[in-house]
Amino acid sequence: MAVVKVPVSRVIKGHKAVRDALRDTQTYSSDLQGDADVRTYRQLPLEVDPPRHHLYRSALAPIFVKPAIEKHEAAFVLSTKKLLAEFLSDPSRDVIPHLALPIVMHNLGILYGREQDVKEWISWGPDVWTATGPQRDGSVLHAYIDRVYREAMNSDSDDVWHRIAYMEIDGSQVSEIEFRGIVSVMLAGGRDTMVKMIAGILWHLGNNSADKAMLISQPQLIDSAVQEFLRYLTPIPWMGRTTFPETGATNLPEGRYVNISFVSGNFDPEIFPDPTTINLRRERNAHVAFGFGPHTCIGNHLAEFEVRVFLQVLLSMNLSWSISPDTAILYYPDELASVPLVIEKLFISV
């Protein structure tokens, strides 16, 4: 899932209100142009409404369905083991660039059949929009997308970019701008979000050795732990929608954008007792970490699988670690002051 940055006028909060709004695509439309400071195109299928949204989603589904992901389990496990071992050769380094980001990018390289690009993807850092420095800039990502589009159109390869370049939507081959919109989501989304997940798991288990011991002794709890980490860490806290669809419209009104607060849904005490506590035994975990309704994150199965593999590999090593005071975490305000919003740096002592 990618963040849609727009100037919002109000926020929808609470588990029921969030799910209702995400289900109501007519009132709260995804027909908008987000991230206008770094791109001039729609991310697809993120920024279109049904029924066209369904066409893109159906065409991309073969990449992200469970069987397509799970067939790479051995490769994900091997890669994660290798990267963890490499990191532990010098565990004084920041987890974010030296462990979490490489794990996520190597997983994408395996899934997309583009392992030759992994080093380049890692060089962009956790957020592709700041690959050139602290100021948001889309030039690095767009140069890559333009290059792989030309390659896809002039080769007979069978990697993911070639398949997308020749994909048909409603009987027509995708255009270059549609290709850009699809690939942008596939590389910008599921990136900093999954880095936060891996770092957040290390942070929590490093501070809570009892939870780590419980998962080692009761591996059947790993599935519920995955869902609880997704709820608590809420990789994307909120998502923008518009009350006035933008396609073909003129004189667009001010104040049309709303934020749908996933984090408020995931910490709603009416749904999740003691929500600011990580309960790895939590049952009936109806979190909205992936959104809800027609626009539920297309990469949800991939995210769950990556977290599960990471947890299983990490726990199998039976490590002991603590969190270094050099760690830098930005927390939510007010009642969520103990919950990480952004893990800027994470250092562990092994």
Q: Is residue 331 part of a domain?
A: no
Write out the two tokens for 72: 């790479």
pLDDT tens readout for residues 202-226: 999 999 999 999 999 999 999 999 9
172 within domain boundaries: yes
Once rounded to an integer, what is the mean pLDDT over residues 87-112?
A: 97
Q: Give the domain CATH number at 144.
A: 1.10.630.10
Query: Can you give the residue range of the structural domain that contains 124?
Result: 10-317
The CB-side HSE value for 124 (13 A sphere, CA atoms) comes to 24
Please report whether residue 112 resides in a domain.
Answer: yes
Query: Does residue 338 lie in a domain region?
Result: no
Residue 101 tokens read as 């980001």
Of 243, 241, 240, 136, nearest in space to 188 by CA: 136
Residue 86, pLDDT > 90, answer yes
pLDDT tens profile 20-68 = 999 999 999 999 999 989 999 999 999 999 999 999 999 999 999 999 9
Flag whether 4 is in a domain: no
- pLDDT of residue 3 exceeding 60, the answer is no
pLDDT in tens, 269-309: 999 999 999 999 998 899 999 999 999 999 999 999 999 99
Residue 334 lies in a domain: no
- CA 237, distance to chain mean position in Å, is 11
Residues 127-180 pLDDT 10s = 999 999 999 999 999 999 999 999 999 988 888 999 999 999 999 999 999 999
